[in-house]
A = this chain, B = another copy of it.
Amino acid sequence: MGLTKTEIFTEEQNALAIALKAMAHPARIAILQQIIKANACICGDLVDELGLAQATISQHLKELKNAGIIQGTIEGVSVCYCINPEVWSALQKQLSGFFNTYNLKPNCC
């Protein structure tokens, strides 16, 4: 046990869950906010900005990259990260679609 039964759910349900999970950590939300705020890409600045060890930040970046939400390119010694626009807007659409399936009805219970 301790293993999600992905086979009993739809592709969409699994995909959405994976995307949400990738963002479901304050450090990863902070990283995304920093990347967006800095507009141009940043890299090891994240280690200074957030109060986490370099190894920990690198791990969080890896998860965001695995989920496709961000992309990184090597820039000399450092690595530059930025939002993946396609994945970002796709996720945005998917999420707003999900939330919009519920149309504010009077409390039923």
Tell whether A17 is near chain B: CB-to-CB under 8 Å: yes
Point out the residues of chain B lying under 8 angstroms from A10, CB to CB: 30
Assembly CA distance A29 to B101 (angstroms)? 12
Question: Could you tell me how many residues of chain A have their Cβ less than 8 Å away from some Cβ of chain B?
Answer: 53
CB–CB A17/B8 < 8 A: no
Q: How many copies make up the complex?
A: 2
Which B residue's beta carbon lies closest to that of A80?
A: B109
Contact residues of A between 4 and 52, Cβ < 8 Å to B = 4-6, 8-10, 13-14, 16-17, 20-21, 23-30, 33, 36-37, 39-41, 50-52
Question: How far, in angstroms, from A28 to B85 measured CA to CA in the complex?
Answer: 27
- Name the CB-closest residue of B to A103: B36
- The smallest beta-carbon distance between A31 and chain B, in angstroms, is 10
State how many angstroms separate the Cβ of A81 from the closest Cβ of chain B: 7
